[in-house]
């Protein structure tokens, strides 16, 4: 087992021999363990999440190196769990299955273990300055990414102990999102919310009754106002393109799976949707439709002002199908030309 590395902020690591986990390597990086576009992970250990990649590397004794520092250019759950496994490998291995399951929930919204989802919900609460019990200084630091890693690498062992004890201390951190997930799964199971797959487009259409109210879910360290929790939708389908329909409100989304390099499967490449947005604005006689930057991690085609569209759903679906099958490719995680990036 390799010795545990020490965390270094990304900027400081430019002058240190380092491992970059779940991010873009630096010139000083000796080992990259990530699922990012154009990552440099050893081929034998590549997995769908960076956390799973780290554990695969820990298993591969012939690949071990003594590298004193580990870093990352952004904070999220997958980065945190991979970082923890490299700084505390023996302790992390005891919770390997939970941490890998939680990395799938945090990055992809796919729940394979309910406690993995709860761990992510707890971390989202701890990293939310509005509700976090962490010291306010953490959120006042100029380098918030580094401050969050320091705070959460210290807090994660306590969260894991609480999980083993049945969550007596930190259950309040995940309770609201967990209840939202339970309610959302019930809506899908009872057929109140329907999900229909279109395999030829790698698309899932989720239809939500207009009377259901939206509520706040927190994901990727951001609030998202939705009826159905994203974890419920993404756990119900592998399709990498999601269309949510609630009355005359339509929102299309590319899932995060199409931003990274998945090891288990290939998903269709993202295509440009700016021409589709322009076409929809013609049909709607408005300027309300916006196609977000397709190089973003979870970009959408939607009406940001929240106003309904006048376009019939059948017409919208025909326009969307035409775009998805003919528009030029906008993002290829296996041939990434953009420097830097965040996710």
Reported confidence tier of residue 60, pLDDT bands at 50, 70, 90: very high
Q: Which pLDDT score, from 0 to 100, does residue 342 have?
A: 42
pLDDT of residue 128: 97
Reply yes or no on whether the pLDDT at 172 is more than 60: yes
Q: In Å, how far are 9, 31, 41 from 63, measured between CA atoms? A: 25, 10, 11
Is the pLDDT score of 179 beyond 50? yes
- The pLDDT of residue 63 is above 50: yes
Instruction: Let me know: does 53 contact 100? Beta carbons within 8 Å.
Output: no
Please say whether the beta carbons of 127 and 148 come within 8 A: yes
> In whole angstroms, what is the distance from residue 170 CA to residue 167 CA?
6
Two structure tokens written together for 332: 């290829």
Measure CA 166 to chain center.
26
Separation of alpha carbons 167 and 121, rounded Å: 13
Q: How far apart are the first and last CA of the chain?
A: 29
Task: Tell me the two tokens of residue 320.
Answer: 């969307």
Sheet holding 194-198: strands in order across? Answer: 194-198, 203-208, 241-246, 249-254, 300-302, 290-291
Domains and CATH numbers, the chain: 6-173 (no CATH), 178-331 (3.10.310)
Check residue 336 and give its pLDDT: 67
CA atoms within 13 A on the CB side of 50: 33
Over residues 216-267, the pLDDT tens digits come to 999 999 999 999 999 999 999 999 999 999 999 999 999 999 999 999 999 9
SS3 315: helix
Mean per-residue pLDDT, 63-89:
97
Asked if 5 and 68 touch (Cβ cutoff 8 Å), the reply is yes
Mean pLDDT of the chain: 96
- Show the DSSP H helices in 49-113 as ranges: 50-59, 77-87, 89-94, 96-108
Report pLDDT for 65.
93
Helix, strand, or coil here: 331?
Answer: strand
The token duo for 23 is 């991010």
Judged by DSSP in three states, 265 sits in: coil
Q: What would the DSSP string read from start to end of 195-253?
A: EEEEGGGTEEEEEE-TTSPPEEEEETTEEEEESS-HHHHHHH---SEEEEEETTEEEEE
For 321-326, what is the mean pLDDT?
98
Closest of 239, 228, 155, 220 to residue 194, by C-alpha: 228
pTM value is 0.95
Contact 189, 195 (CB under 8 A): no
Q: What is the mean pLDDT of residues 49-72?
A: 97
Tell me the pLDDT tens digit for each residue of 32-49.
999 999 899 999 999 999
């Amino acid at each position: 087992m390799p010795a545990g590395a020490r965390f270094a902020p990304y900027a400081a690591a430019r002058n240190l021999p380092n491992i970059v986990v779940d991010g873009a390597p630096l010139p000083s990086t000796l080992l990259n363990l990530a699922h990012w576009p154009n990552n440099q992970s050893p081929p034998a250990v590549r997995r769908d999440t960076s956390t799973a990649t780290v554990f695969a590397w820990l298993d591969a004794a012939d690949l071990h190196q003594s590298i004193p520092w580990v870093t990352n250019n952004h904070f999220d759950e997958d980065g945190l769990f991979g970082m923890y496994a490299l700084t505390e490998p023996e302790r992390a291995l005891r919770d390997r299955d939970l941490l890998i399951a939680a990395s799938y929930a945090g990055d992809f919204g796919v729940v394979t273990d309910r406690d993995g989802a709860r761990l992510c919900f707890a971390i989202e609460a701890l990293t939310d300055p509005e509700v976090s019990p962490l010291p306010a200084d953490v959120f006042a630091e100029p380098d918030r990414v580094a401050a969050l890693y320091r705070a959460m690498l210290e807090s994660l062992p306590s969260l894991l102990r609480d999980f083993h004890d049945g969550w007596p201390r930190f259950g309040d951190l995940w309770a609201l999102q967990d209840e939202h997930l339970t309610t959302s799964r019930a809506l899908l199971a009872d057929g109140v919310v329907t999900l229909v797959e279109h395999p030829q487009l790698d698309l899932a259409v989720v239809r939500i009754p207009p009377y259901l109210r939206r509520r706040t879910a927190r994901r990727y360290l951001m609030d998202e106002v939705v009826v159905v929790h994203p974890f419920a939708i993404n756990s119900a389908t592998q399709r990498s393109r999601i269309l949510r329909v609630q009355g005359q409100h339509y929102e299309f989304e590319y899932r995060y799976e199409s931003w990274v390099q998945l090891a288990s499967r290939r998903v269709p490449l993202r295509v440009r949707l700016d021409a589709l947005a322009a076409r929809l604005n013609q049909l709607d006689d408005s300027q309300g439709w916006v196609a977000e930057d397709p190089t973003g991690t979870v970009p959408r085609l939607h009406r940001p002002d929240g106003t309904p569209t006048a376009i019939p759903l059948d017409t919208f679906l025909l326009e969307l199908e035409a775009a998805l099958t003919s528009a030029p490719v906008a993002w290829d995680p296996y041939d990434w030309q953009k420097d830097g990036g965040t996710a």
